[in-house]
Structure formats: C-alpha cells, structure tokens
Amino acid sequence: MRATPIGQPVDRVDGRIKVTGAAVYAADNKPAGLTYGYIVTSTIGRGVITGMDTAAALASPGVLAVYTPFNPLKLFAYVQNQNDESAPPLQDKEVRFHGQTIGFVVAETWEQARDAASLIRTTYQQQPPVTAFPGPPAAMEKADTDAEGPDTVLATGVASVAQAVAAGEVTFTASYSTPVQHHCAMEPHATVATWNGDHLTAYTVTQGAVLSVRRLSETLGVDAAKIHVISPHVGGGFGGKWGNWAQVPLACAAAKALGRPVKAVLTREQVFTLAGHRPLTVQNLKMACTADGKLTAITNDGITSRGFAGSWSESVANWTLTTYASPSIQVTKTIVPLNLGAATVMRAPGEANGSFALESAMDELAERLGLDPLEMRMKNYATFVPNTGKPWSSKHLDECYRRGAEEFGWSKRPKKVRATVDGDWLVGTGMGTATYGASRGLASIKVRLSADGTASVSGTAADLGTGQYTVFAILAADVLGIPVDRVRPELGDSTSPTAANAGGSNSTCTNGPAVQVAAKAVQTELVALAVTNPKSPFHGKDPAEVVYRDGSVSSGGLTMSFGTLLTTCDVGSVEAVGTSPRLVDPEHGFRSFGVHFCEVRVHRWTGEPRVTRWLSVMDAGTIINVKAARSQIQGAVVMGIGQALLEATEVDQGTGRFANGNLASYLVPVHADIPPIDVRFLDHPDPLISGLGAKGIGELGIVGVAGAIGNAVHHATGVRVRELPITLEKLL
C-alpha cells in the first residue's frame, strides 16, 4: 500500500518557480504594444472637483489619453458589493477620501504617464473630512450585525440582557479600540488588460478569477463570457485583493478605448488609499458573572467605520456570540461612515479585532476573581454554539487548551503580575483563544490524465501564498495513487471549472472534496477508454473487471500505467469534471478552534515590548499539508503580532490623509520582531464538514493573537492596554 501524502510535510509545488522568479505575476505580462496607465489621486479628503487642467499633461511626451471625471471612461455602477469601492472611478466629481482616483493617464511608458499626471492642475471646493469617531456630528448608522443566528440570547426570566448584566454578582465594563490597519501584501495591485475584438483578457491580481470577471462584467457592461481573467500567482492578499480596485476597470476600459493593451500598477502609497483597509473599531463590553467565574450575561456594542466610498463594514462584536457560554448575550453594531477610502475585509475580518476585546476582558475578569485565565475559559467552555444552542460539528478546544498549557509550562506561571524580572526586562505570559467559522461551498474541479504520465488538476481557485496549489497536488495524488510530483495543479484561470475563491478560510474545505470527486471520476473515464478503444489491450472487457489502482489499469494478469495506456491508444488525455456541493447543515455549528500561548518581555526603562516565545495549538480538522499549514498559522501569528504591537495607519485629522501610508513608515513585523513560533495541530477530522474532514486555517491563526499579547504584557507589567497597538509609550 502506498502511504498517503495527506498530512505529510510536502514542499510547495510552486515553491521553486516563485523563488527563482519564473512565476508570472499580473504585472509581469507584456503583450505587444503595451501602454502604461497611472492613476491620479485627490489631494483633499472631502469635497467636489471644480476643474482639472489637463492641457500640459496631454501635451507631455508619449501621452495617449488623460481620463478625468470631465472626460471619463464609461463605467457602469456595480450591482453586487464585493468589498471594494461601491462606485466605479471617474463617474462623478465628488471626492470622498484623500488619495481617491480622480484621473487616469495612459502613455507609452510608465514614467511618461506618471510625469504627465504630475502636470494636471486640479481645483476643488473643499469640505472638512470626517475622519474619526465619534466625530463631530458624525453620522451613526445602527446596522444589522449579520450574525449567523440571533444577536440576542436571553436567559429565561430575564427582561433584557442589559438588566442581566446589571444584576450580575460581579460585573465588568471596558472599551477596547483598534486602529485602521492595512494588508500590506508584498505584490501591489496590478492589471494588464488586452482586447481581441470584443473579448477581454485581463491579467490581474485577485483572490478569485470569477469574482474579478463578475465585477468587470458589471462595470464594463460586457458579457462575462467574453472576459478572461488570468491570475496564476498572487503575492499575498489577506482580503485586500478580494475586490476589484480602481486599476482593474480603468486598465480594461482604457485598453478598449485606445485599442492597445494597458498595464496599471498601484504605487505602494496608492495601495494604502485605493485598496481598502481594516476599519477603525470600538467595542463597549459589559460582562457579568458569578463570584466563582461563570458568565451570566454579556453585552458588546460594536462600532465600526466604513468608507463613504464603500459599503462594507466589519461586524466587530459578533465573536462574542459564539465563543463563551453565557445564558444571556447581546451584540450590536453601529457604523460610522468616514472619509477614508473603503473599509474592507482583512484577515479574520471582525474576529481578529473582536477577539482582542473579549480575550482581554476574560483575563481582566479572571484577575478580578483571582482565577487563572485558562481556568476562567474552561469554566465558560461552550459545548454548544452560544447564540444558537446548536451542537458543534466537532470541537476539541479543550484538548488544545490542555496540550498547549502542558507544552508551554502554563502551570508554572506566577499568579501575580510584574512577578518576573530578568535583568532589564519584565517577563509575562498570556493566552488567547482562536476560533473562526468553517463552511463548505460549491466547487467544480477538472482532472486530466495525460499520455506523458502526468495529471493536471484545474479550477478557478487562487493561491495567495497559502499553499492551495500544493493542496490540489496532494489530494489528487492521493486519490490517483501517484506521486505528488506527477500532478500539475492549474489555478487562477477564469475559464477553468468554478472553484472556491481564496477568502473566508474556505479554499481547502470547499475545493478539496471537489478534487477528490474529480480524481475519482477521471478513473471511470480512463477505464471506459480502456474497454472501448480498439488499440487498448483491455478492449472489449467488461468495465467492472477493469480496475484502476495507483496510476495503472489492471485486468486479468495485465497491468498498464495510464500514461502507457493513453500512448498505446493514441489518445492525448482523458479528463473529468467533479463537483462537490455546498454543505447545507442547519443542525450544527462549524468552526475551527485553537489557542495561543505566548511570552512577552517589556523593557522596564523604555517600555519596549518584545514577543519572545510562542505556541499555538490548533484544531482545524484534517490537515492536508502539515508544512504549509504550519506556515499559514505562523504567518497569521506574525500578522497578529503586527496587529498587537506595531500596526496603525495614522490619520491626519485635518486632511484625512494617511500620514504613514507607505512601507517606510507603516510598521509591519520584521524577522527581528518574531520569536520561533511553535505550531501543533490536533488533526481530528471534522466528520460533518466533508468526507475529507478539513476545516479552514487561513484566518484562524490571527484570531486571539492580539488578546494573548495584551494579556502577556499586562502580566509582565501590570499595565492593561485597551487600545491597539500596544506601543511603548502606553507602557511607561
């Protein structure tokens, strides 16, 4: 029996071409006659454009066109919200944020386009931008929480959750806030558009080729069947490449208008203003529990920003509905529209911020009661989904807690804060719970067996550096019984069968089962060929007597590899499309779980916080590739360390400009900020999500990280910071 590659540490199948520069990213495409577009952005935060003098730009060398709201490319309004700007660029003269698209210059070279853009003179009628909350009379929109299940759970005999909180034996109230943050994926947003008659080919960054097609179809007014999006490699996304940002429709529409291919790449500064951000949030938490630490009621009133330019906002308080058992829970959502670009999804939207508040508060409450933080969480362990009462499909969080505590040495933790000093460093430890929703969508995948003995697996999925290519290769190799290196996964092409987009930690749980179905179905096709093709040695046999195993077809005493069989039959390949349906299970709650334990050192004289030890124990169902999965969690923890200690996009309150909107001044963690990150997986398959048993891991790893760090900082110093990021001046 061949050993299954599932669960083994498999090297990324796309690793070599990525590190050698052979992988083709959107901006690498250079069709003949390529021209270059440069986006012109607003220099005010709110107002109306009264004029744009483009004469000098138009007269500038190499310039082919200058598009502005006075001379726009025709773009139609979007129908469906996909977390990007809700209005296409250049269609009106209103400025909704600083750094908004107000023009698009196309020239023979990028330098010419950029230079010409600098010659445009724009006049505005300015208004003061609304850039913070509560904000001078900032509009507050009461909004639907979009919770899965009810957002209010009321224990019997209780009039309101607020009353249940007030009546608690022990009560606790606190507000937690988080700043604007940015995805900062390595690869900036890029699109190369080329038309052949009325057919468009767009090489573009995207977390899902079909998402991009649908959005382009709407805004260009072109039938989706005439749009081909190609995006085999994406250099990081984290939610920031879910939508089609301005460079996508502009490049495509300009290429059509000019009859030449157009390439548009956002500058790093433009990525900050034009490609979305994690919104500002505040959570006003009120909790009540018994004297021995059993939660009796929680309210969490979440406030979140959205851009005037976009419609999406974060449901920041919802994590409180599904994490700890409490007989009464209520969360609310209030939206404050701001003149700050579009808020959009960023890794674990809502939950990364949401968990910071609740994980901090659980520790604050535990401390008040004299309880160990882990004991506090076990006392309130949710054996059913708290807001729906449904059983979980699978949940082994208690095992994560036990195993993590043991491996981390949690029992040796001093109960008192500021109890451990090592030279100039105050040492503390903390923990945080991670949970993230799991689901399985509809996906189709094509598997093709070729005469050269290889198999290809294709679907419109995206690999943002997540390891999706390798997941495809492993699962197909497993079902086909051939080595992983004989499988060629093909992702990111909108003409492939429609598979899951890379978002919502949904790729592997959705696409994985479809790969399995397709890899099984192609065996049937191969056997059918074997018995019907006159050149086949199995010709005329009963298909029931011909078996496929480990890459070969056998019957009687004869065994032949599929490559040899196809060659013998003079057939290039056989293929099959497999479809795995959307999971409909209204009876259960589906989530991935985990826990983070960490050690933080805070310099006693400078206040500098450093994370020095990390252990994450994750319960995410079947792990397909333990190597890439570990990387996913490590990457998420790194991002969480950034969220906790470094990352904040500072808004200049007078102008609405992002003061540090570039990689020189927006701090992301570097190697020196990151300790070794130990990751363990429990690897208990989820029996209900699919036969494969895999839940999501992409976003799970960042949830609970900021809370764990805040708790460790507090343990080290006695200082509780409720406003992210936890920077040194807050610890002095």
Q: Which one, 686 or 699, has the nearer CB to ligand MOS? A: 699
Which structure tokens are listed for 257?
A: 């208008």
Instruction: Please report whether residue 185 would count as binding ligand MOS according to CB under 6 A.
Output: no
Distances (CA, A) of 72 to 707, 711, 716: 47, 52, 57
For 112-146, letters b (16+ CB in 10 Å) and e give bbbbbbebbebebeeeebbbbbebeeeeeeeeebe
**Alpha-carbon distance 648 to 669, whole Å?**
12
Q: Which one, 346 or 477, has the nearer CB to ligand MOS? A: 346
Dihedrals phi, psi of 389, to nearest 5 degrees:
75, 5
CB atoms within 10 A of CB 538: 24
Q: Which one, 235 or 504, has the nearer CB to ligand MOS? A: 504
Q: Which one, 354 or 503, has the nearer CB to ligand MOS? A: 503
Give the binding range for ligand MOS (CB under 6 A) out of 100-108, 231-239, 535-543, 629-637.
231-239
Dihedrals phi, psi of 648, to nearest 5 degrees:
-155, 125
Give the binding range for ligand MOS (CB under 6 A) out of 235-243, 284-292, 436-444, 617-625.
235-243
Instruction: Please report whether residue 103 would count as binding ligand MOS according to CB under 6 A.
Output: no
CB 213, min distance to ligand MOS, A: 18
Give the x/- contact pattern for ligand MOS in 61-100, rule: CB under 6 A.
Answer: ----------------------------------------
Question: Which residue in the block uniquely carries the two structure tokens 């019984």?
Answer: 481
What angle in degrees, to the nearest 10, is found between the helix axes of 705-717 and 351-369?
30
Q: Which one, 349 or 594, has the nearer CB to ligand MOS? A: 349
Active site residue 699: yes
Which has the closest alpha carbon to 614: 646, 647, 648, 639?
Answer: 639
CB 492, min distance to ligand MOS, A: 15
Give the binding range for ligand MOS (CB under 6 A) out of 53-61, 232-240, 318-326, 382-390.
232-240
Output the CA angle 199-201-202, nearest 5 degrees: 140
Instruction: Please report whether residue 207 would count as binding ligand MOS according to CB under 6 A.
Output: yes
Instruction: Please report whether residue 693 would count as binding ligand MOS according to CB under 6 A.
Output: no
Instruction: Please report whether residue 239 would count as binding ligand MOS according to CB under 6 A.
Output: yes
- Taking CB atoms, the residue at the shortest distance from ligand MOS is 239
Among 37, 88, 235, 237, the residue binding ligand MOS under the rule CB under 6 A is 237
Q: Which one, 238 or 562, has the nearer CB to ligand MOS? A: 238
User: Which residue in 599, 647, 699, 729 is the catalytic one?
Assistant: 699
Q: Which one, 347 or 448, has the nearer CB to ligand MOS? A: 347
CB 304, min distance to ligand MOS, A: 15
Q: Which one, 188 or 237, has the nearer CB to ligand MOS? A: 237
List Cβ neighbours of 415 (8 Å cut-off, separation of 6 or more). 370, 372
CB 241, min distance to ligand MOS, A: 8
DSSP output for 389-428: -PBBS---HHHHHHHHHHHHTGGG--SSTT-EEETTEEEE
Torsion angle (degrees, nearest 10) of CA 119, 122, 127, 128: 0
Strands (E), 464-589: 487-490, 547-549, 552-555, 558-561, 573-580
Dihedrals phi, psi of 273, to nearest 5 degrees:
-95, -30
Considering only residues 11 to 70 of the shown chain, the ones binding ligand MOS according to CB under 6 A are none
Considering only residues 344 to 373 of the shown chain, the ones binding ligand MOS according to CB under 6 A are 345-347, 349
CB 596, min distance to ligand MOS, A: 19
**Alpha-carbon distance 543 to 538, whole Å?**
9
Give the binding range for ligand MOS (CB under 6 A) out of 237-245, 323-331, 368-376, 378-386.
237-245
Among 504, 513, 589, 704, the residue binding ligand MOS under the rule CB under 6 A is 504
CB atoms within 10 A of CB 407: 13
Dihedrals phi, psi of 559, to nearest 5 degrees:
-125, 135
Active site residues: 699
Interface residue list for ligand MOS (CB under 6 A): 207, 237-239, 242, 345-347, 349, 503-504
